[in-house]
Amino acid sequence: MSIRTVAACCYLCLLSVLPAHGAGKTQVRIEKLGEYTPTDLHVGASLAAADTCLANDNHDIVYRIDGWVTGYELYKGLIDPANSCDNAYPYTVLEVNMPMRFEAATSLVVSVDIEAADLTSVPGCPIPGELLGLSAEWNLTIPGSGTYNVWIPLDTPIVVNEPFFAGYYLGSPIDQSVGCAVLCDSIPVLCASFNIWDTAVGWVDLADNEYFAFPGRLAMEVSGIPGGTAAIPPVASLVCPDSGADVFGTNIELWAYDTAGSPAVDYASFEYSDGGAYVEIGRDYDGTAPLRNGVAPTEPGQGYSVFWHTSGLPEGAYTIRTTFVDTTGATSSVITPVRLEPTPPVPGLAGLPSGSYVCAPWEFSITCPDEDISYIEVARFPAIDTYSTGLTVFSQSLLGDTNGNPGDGNLIANGEYGEYCSGPAAAAMASRVWYDRGYVSVLRDSTTSITVTDLAEMLAEAMKTRRDSGTYDDALLNGWRAHFAHHTPEFEFDHRRNPTYYDVRTWVEESQRTVVLGLGGNPGLWVAVDGFSGWQATDTAFEVTVANPVAGSLVSGVMIDRGGVSELTLDETVYTVDIMVSMTTLAWTISRPVACVDFSGTDGWGCTWSSAGIDDGTPVFLRTSARDAANNQGYSTVMVSYDCAFAHVQGDYTGDGLTDIDDLLTLIPYVTGGAGMAGVDPRFDANCDNVINIADAVYYMNFLFGATSAPCH
C-alpha cells in the first residue's frame, strides 16, 4: 500500500515503501530570503468562503533551505488554528500549502493529508497520529523561477477540534537543477516539523537531526473555516463531459458533483464560453442522486445536471464553468475545456435497429448529420454465443474492516461498512480485467504491488463510500476516474443512463470495455458485467451474467425491455438497469473486418455487404464509422443476427414476402391488447420508438398509404 492509504497508526510502515534518497541530503545550504512576493497556485476547484482563515504556526518566514528537497518524500507540520484564528475550534480544514522556492520551471506530483497529533507515544513530543483525511495526487506545473504557495485541496473537508499535523507529499523526483527549496522561520522548535525520505533513515525531526538542523519551523499552512461545521463549502467537480473531451450533438448532458458532500448546497450553475463572456446554460436546484448500497432501496434522481442545447453554436473550442453555491454564499467553481461538434460525424444504419435479421447481399442505407463527410465504413465483429469477460470475483464482505478482523464479514452491525461496498467492489473487479489484459499498473500503487481488495479499498475512499454509507452514481464515476487519473492516466471512463441490453453487450463485447451496472430496486446495488449467452428469446429476454459483490459470486440473470425500461432479474429479484459505467483505454486495439465502404455521398451514403464472411445463424455487431474533413471521427453500432432463414422484408409480419393489409391485421391485436413488449415479436415496433402500442398501427397504416417510410423491422 502507498503512503496515501496507510492508516496513521502504521506510519512506520512507510519505511518499507519509500525509495532511498539519503545521498540527496548532503549538499544542503541555507540562504536568507529577503523581500519576496509569493505566487498562489491552486489546483482543482477553487474554494471560496467569506469566513476562511489561514492557520499556521510560523512567525515571519526568513530562510530558504536549498539542496534538501529530493522528491518522493513526505513533510509534516504541526498546526494549531488557535494561534491564527479567533474562535478557532471546531476548525474545518479545506486546503494545505507548503511554500517553496524554485529557480526554474518544473513539474510536480503532489498530495496532502491531515493527521491527529499523537501526544502519548513519545512523552512531551507530539508526532503524527491517526489519519483524518487526504487528497488525490495532483500533477501540476511550476511555470518558472519564483516563490510559490502551492495549495492542494483535501478531497473532503476535515473537521478538527485540537492541534493537528498537516502532511505534504512530493510524489515525483525533483532534479537539483530546478533549485527547489523549502522555507522556514527563525524559531527552531522540536517536534513541530518532520520529514521522511529514506527507508533506512525513517522520520527525522527537522529541528534536530544528523543531516542538517533547520534554523526554524518548516513553512506550512492550511486554509479553513473556524468556529463550526455548518459552513463546510462545496467542492465542485464536473463528472461529464471529461476535461478535453470531444462533445457531439445538440443536446449534451452536463453532470456535476460536490465532492465535499456539503449539506448546504443551494444550486449548481452551468455556463459556457467560446473565449468571451460566460453564458449561463442553466441551474439545477435538486441534486438528488441514487445511493446504491446493497442494503436500502434506491431513490430516483440524476444528481446536479442540465442539458446544454448547442443548436446554432459553431464547432470549436469551449470552456464549461460549473459553480456550486451554498446557502451561506460560499462558492466553488471548476473550469472544463471541451471541443464542440454540433453536427457530428456519427452515422447510422437506416431501418436496421439492433435485434434485426440480415442476409447477404445486404444494402446498407446510411444517414449522418455531418455535412462534410469524407467516407463511411461498415465493419463487422462476430458475437460469441457464450461470452465472458473473465472477472475475478470476490465478496464485498472483505472490505470496510475497521477492527482488524476481516473474517467477521465487516457488517454494519459491527460498526464497519463492508456491506455498503458493492460500488467499489464491482469497480475493482472491472478494473482487475485490465491487469489480466497486461496493464499491470492497475494493481500497483507507486512502486508497490497491491491486491484487488486493496484497490477496492482505495476506490471506496475515492468514491466516498464510507462517508455516504454507500456509493452514489456521481461519486462512483467521479471517484473511479479520479483514482486512475492519478495512478494510470491512460484509462478513460464513460456512462450511459437507462441502457438497453444491446447497449450493454456492445460496450462489453464489441468494444471490450469493462462495465458496472447501477441497479435500482430494493435494495439498490452495483454489479460488474461478466458476459452473455445466446441470442434473444421469443419474449425479447436475454441471459446476462454479472458478478454480484453481495453474493461474492457470478450470477446469471435475465434482462428484458419493458416499455423502454430495462429490467434485470437476479435470484428472483427484479431490478431496473438505471446506469452503466465503463472503463477502457484507447491503447487497446480490436480487429474488425470491413464489410463495405463508401467514399462518395453524391448519390446518398450506402454500401453493399456482398459476402458476410460469417456462419449463418450467427449474431454480429455492425459498426458504422465516418470521418469528416476536420478529421473528427464518430461511429454507431448495432447488433443483428446474420440469419438468412429469418431475414425478411421490413413490415412483412405474415412471412409471405409482401407488405399489405394482412400484416396490419396481424399487428393490430397486439398493439390494442396492451400486451407491451414482453412476449411480443419485437419486429412489431413499426416506428422504432422501443414501445409497441397503437402508434405502431397508425404508422403502419400511413406506410400502406405511402405517407411514411417502411417499418423499422
Task: Break the chain into its structural domains and give their ranges.
Answer: 8-226, 236-341, 348-382+588-642, 649-713
pLDDT at 395 over 90: yes
How many Cβ atoms are within 10 Å of 705's Cβ, its own excluded? Answer: 7
Mean per-residue pLDDT of the chain? 87
pLDDT band of 45, cuts 50, 70, 90: low
pLDDT at 69 over 50: yes
All 3 cell numbers of residue 625? Answer: 464509422
Nearest to 542 by CA among 624, 639, 623, 637: 639
pLDDT at 478 over 70: yes
pLDDT at 678 over 70: no
pLDDT band of 6, cuts 50, 70, 90: very low
Tell me which architecture the domain covering 348-382+588-642 has in CATH.
Sandwich (2.60)
Triad 665, 666, 667: Cα angle to 5°: 90
Sign of the torsion formed by the C-alpha atoms of 563, 565, 571 and 572? negative
All 3 cell numbers of residue 246? Answer: 470531444
pLDDT at 351: 77
pLDDT band of 17, cuts 50, 70, 90: very low
pLDDT at 646: 66
pLDDT at 65: 96
Cis peptide bond upstream of 241, omega within 30: yes
pLDDT at 612: 63
What's the Cα-to-Cα distance from 231 to each of 103, 261, 329, rounded to whole Å?
A: 39, 12, 10
pLDDT tens-digit readout, 326-382:
988 889 999 999 999 998 889 988 878 888 888 777 788 888 887 789 999 999 998
**Are 328 and 228 in contact, with CB atoms under 8 Å apart?**
no
Average pLDDT over residues 665-673: 78
pLDDT at 36: 86
Backbone angles phi, psi at 699, to 5 degrees: -60, -45
Q: Which of 17-31, 302-316, 349-363, 447-461 has the lowest mean pLDDT?
A: 17-31
All 3 cell numbers of residue 92? Answer: 474545518
The DSSP call for residue 28 is -
| Statement: 236-341 belongs to CATH 2.60.40.10 | yes
Q: Which of residues 356 and 458 earns the better pLDDT score?
A: 458
Answer CATH for 649-713 from 1.10.220.70, 1.20.140.10, 1.10.1330.10, 3.50.50.60: 1.10.1330.10
Q: d(Cα 548, Cα 416) in Å, to the nearest integer?
A: 20
For residue 570, the cross-strand partners are 573
Q: d(Cα 243, Cα 319) in Å, to the nearest integer?
A: 9
pLDDT at 482 over 70: yes
Give the DSSP per-residue string, 511-553.
S--EEEEEEESSS-EEEEEEEEESS--TTSEEEEEEEETTTTE
pLDDT at 9: 32
For residue 152, the cross-strand partners are 96
Q: Work out the angle between the directed axes of helices 694-704 and 661-672 (0-180°, nearest 10).
A: 170
Q: d(Cα 517, Cα 494) in Å, to the nearest integer?
A: 12
pLDDT at 398 over 50: yes
pLDDT at 232 over 50: yes
Given this chain, do its domains 236-341 and 649-713 carry the same CATH topology? no
pLDDT at 673: 64
All 3 cell numbers of residue 183? Answer: 522555507
Q: Which of 92-96, 195-199, 258-262, 290-294 has the lowest mean pLDDT?
A: 195-199
Share of the chain above pLDDT 90, in %: 58
pLDDT at 421 over 50: yes
Q: Which of 301-315, 327-341, 483-497, 609-623 has the lowest mean pLDDT?
A: 609-623
Q: Which of 55-64, 201-210, 608-617 has the lowest mean pLDDT?
A: 608-617
pLDDT at 655: 65
